[in-house]
Chains A and B, each alone.
Chain A
């Protein structure tokens, strides 16, 4: 047995001898009809026919409802969105490498300390921008640094950023990274570079006169070349590697 439900979209207003739409909020109603409808409603209450305006100033119940109900809706939106916001930062896969990017005014020090046997050993190098006078043909001004951060591609990395003095920001837009760097705090960035290549970034929080002259250069190399590149980086300080 079938039940047929049909709804008319228009009803007949006998008093004014016209059709009125039952679904004025429908976005696909006839636009011209709605304009006419709106106009006719305006014209139905001119001053001559309706000299005493209705005064509606309060409606306590509806005001309370229309405050509480949207608040409840917002709560239902906000609670999962906070959960999602924090879970976006969680690291689900254990990283393979930790690189520390320590910001100074106005250069960066990178430490690769996964292979230390003692506290003092560390692959550490400073990364300064290459001044304009020293640039070679084909290099980008204000983007090149003398020592690049070498990382293996397609590997889960953890980058820990911290400054020694003032706040700044470690940003590499092509890798989708921007992380503020705050004194006394270690911030963790979890990334996985999918393609080999060179990625440039710049500091994103002003920290002194040379803030514009402190780029970040990340070079992703194939995993098998990573070891040799890193050990070539600064030979006197590399120890404990195969």
Chain B
């Protein structure tokens, strides 16, 4: 079994406390704004994608994806 490189979303100084809800939400919003700015499939945005996938529970991500498709996502996309 080859060594997996252990990497995850780094500690963000904007969110120093125990409550990381905004951290997860901000990374998700940053990813989608990056996509909107740089186009789908851009490699630079993949970094934000990894961060929000590490931090956010799968259910939250699915719910937000649905909301985006319906146009009801409450964030500043």
Contacts and interface: CB of A to CB of B under 8 A. Distances in A.
Given A116-B53, A185-B21, A187-B19, A94 B10 contact: yes
Contacts of A102: 57, 59
Given A185-B21, A188-B18, A119 B65 contact: yes
Contacts of B58: 111, 113, 119-120, 122, 124
A184 B10 CA distance: 22
A162 B1 contact: no
- Main SS class of interface, B: loop
Interface in A152-167: 152, 155, 158, 160, 162, 164
A114 B20 contact: no
A164 B21 CA distance: 14
Contacts of B55: 98, 100, 160, 186
Nearest to B23: A186
Contact of A179 (B4, B18, B54, B59): B18
A96 B18 contact: no
A97 B8 contact: yes
Interface stretch (A29-37, A142-150, A221-229): A221-229
Contact of A226 (B4, B16, B57): B4
A45 interface: no
A235 B57 CA distance: 20
A227 B2 contact: yes
A242 B19 contact: no
A94 B13 CA distance: 11
A90 interface: yes
Interface string B7-28: 1111100001111110110000
A118 to B, nearest CB: 9
B8 A224 contact: no
A231 B4 CA distance: 11
B3 A242 contact: yes
